[in-house]
Amino acid sequence: MNKDLIAVFEYLEREKGIKREIIVGAIEESLQVAARKSIQGTSNVTVQINPRTGNIAVFSEKIIVEKVESPTMEISLASAQELDPDCEVDQYIDVEVTPKDFGRIAAQKARQIITQKLRSAERDVIYEEYRHRVGETISGTIKRFFKGPNMVVDLGKVEGILPGKYYPKTEKYKVGERVFALLLEVRDTDDEGAEVVLTRSHPEFVKQLLIQEVPEISDNTVIVDKIVRDAGYRTKLTVRSTDPKVDPVGACVGMRGSRIKNVVRELNNEKIDIIPFSEDPIELLQSALEPVEIRKISSQENVVSIVVDDEDYPIVIGKRGMNARLNGELIGSELEVQRMSEYNRAMALRRLQLAQSEDATLDEAVESIVGVSSLIMENLISEGYNTARQILLASPDKLAEIPGVSLEMADYILEKVRKERI
């Protein structure tokens, strides 16, 4: 009995999930190539391996003749009848020609081919086992690191790859630790094998974690529309409900935050913002920024510009501009944020430049402004602001001293007059 070969069979069956007949077939095919090179002059060489004992036998097809002239190609009738009593001259018969040292020679010559064949068989097992599980979460044990932060993860029958770029830099691991990740893809390798690629930084990983915690997502009562993420730091996602009785945000958060806490814990305390979905990007942005109030907003092509109070600016921008960038991705536009003080200075400068121009129409009497009541217009005129130039030279605070004019109304009047004269 070839104990070493049997041990290989059992290991590949148990650890890699490769069926014994596939292993035996791959080795037989490989050894057949080695046998042709090892046994000179033989024709139609075949190799047979006993899957239970591991014994190897090499057979050569020979023609039955009355008188043997070429021993490597022919066999006498008498010798052939010892193998098959019913055989006749001019028939072909398989004769065992296994050399005494064939096991050692064949192993040396066939090692590379065997490895290639088994890798191909293992690839088929990997594809069969894991290709339909792409997008699912999976756990394994960290086996080793290679090329820096890249990890090999033991998944049981196969090993998975968790590249350093596919998990947050804030996460640190050690060999032997358990890791939970998303099965991103099963791909071919350069050596004709296959590898299972994992990720913890993909937005879909967050969604799969939520599905495990929120039954309403599993039964499609709550829909996760979009997820944007800066892995390790912050995730923003929009949700909506197909049932008016179900609050999508509340369902995801859970009683006293119990559901979302489990997700945050798995993500090593990454911040998660859950936002009610809206088809209107401006409304969606306002929801994403709550409780911050947007003071001014405008949009042009793929850029949305907002103005917020100075004290809210750091919150809206976020660390390294992350909050503004993620909110921009959420609404599908580039987001520009400006402080109110900067906006006011810029507007004051534009108004001053316009007021100092030689445009004669600026000195014509202003009898009405769209959106401004007749009473306020009378108060403006009575205070000496009866032309566009006089209004543009005033500050918002100065106009706000006029009865009936608030600071917001003063900003409106100044901007309206400026735009009408551009």
pLDDT tens figures, 64-73: 888 888 888 8
pLDDT per residue as tens digits for the range 243-270: 999 999 999 999 999 999 999 999 999 9
Tokens of 57: 């036998």
Same domain, 186 and 292: no
Q: Between β-strands 294-300 and 303-308, what pairing exists: parallel, antiparallel or unpaired? A: antiparallel
Region of poorest pLDDT, from 102-116, 138-152, 168-182, 274-288: 102-116
Domain boundary, last residue among 108, 128, 148: 128
* 266 is a domain residue: no
Looking at the fold, whether 178 and 116 belong to one and the same domain comes out as: no
Q: How far apart are CA 171 and CA 200, in angstroms?
A: 10
Q: How far apart are the first and last CA of the chain?
A: 97
pLDDT at 110 over 50: no
- Tokens linked to 307: 């103005």
Distance CA 368, CA 387 (A): 10
Residues 30 and 115 in one domain: yes
**CA-derived radius of gyration, the chain:** 39
Q: Which residues contact 300 (CB under 8 A, 6 or more apart)?
A: none
CATH of the domain at 118: 3.30.1480.10
Residue 156 included in any domain:
yes
- 361 shares its domain with 417: yes
Output the six-digit token pair for 80: 């052939």
Q: Can you tell me the distance from the alpha carbon of 302 to that of 336, in angstroms, rounded to the nearest whole number? A: 11
Domain boundary pick from 170, 201, 232: 201
Indicate whether 375 and 394 sit together in one domain: yes
Percent of the chain clearing pLDDT 90 (strictly above): 52
Q: How far apart are CA 320 and CA 232, in angstroms?
A: 14
C-alpha closest to that of 204 among 266, 277, 140, 135: 135
Same domain as 412, residue 335: no
- Count of all residues that appear for the chain in the document: 422
| Residue-wise pLDDT tens digits, 208-238 | 999 999 999 999 999 999 999 999 999 999 9
Note whether residue 263 is domain-resident: no
CB 335 within 8 A of CB 304: yes
Q: Report if residue 302 sits inside a domain.
A: yes
User: In this structure, are residues 193 and 122 in contact, taking their beta carbons and an 8 Å threshold?
Assistant: yes
pLDDT tens digit string along 166-193? 999 999 999 999 999 999 998 877 666 6
Residues 96, 9 within the same domain: yes
Q: Is residue 219 included in any domain, yes or no?
A: no
Residue type, position 377, single letter: M
Q: 261 in a domain, yes or no?
A: no
Q: Is residue 240 part of a domain?
A: no
Q: How high does pLDDT run on average in the chain?
A: 87
Domain of residue 54 covers 3-128
* 2: amino acid identity, one letter: N
Phi, psi dihedrals of residue 300, rounded to the nearest 5°: -150, 120
- Residue with the larger pLDDT of the pair 89 and 182: 182
Per-residue pLDDT, 33: 74
CATH number at residue 407: 1.10.150.20
Closest CA to 155 of 134, 126, 132: 126
Q: Structurally, how many domains does the chain consist of?
A: 4
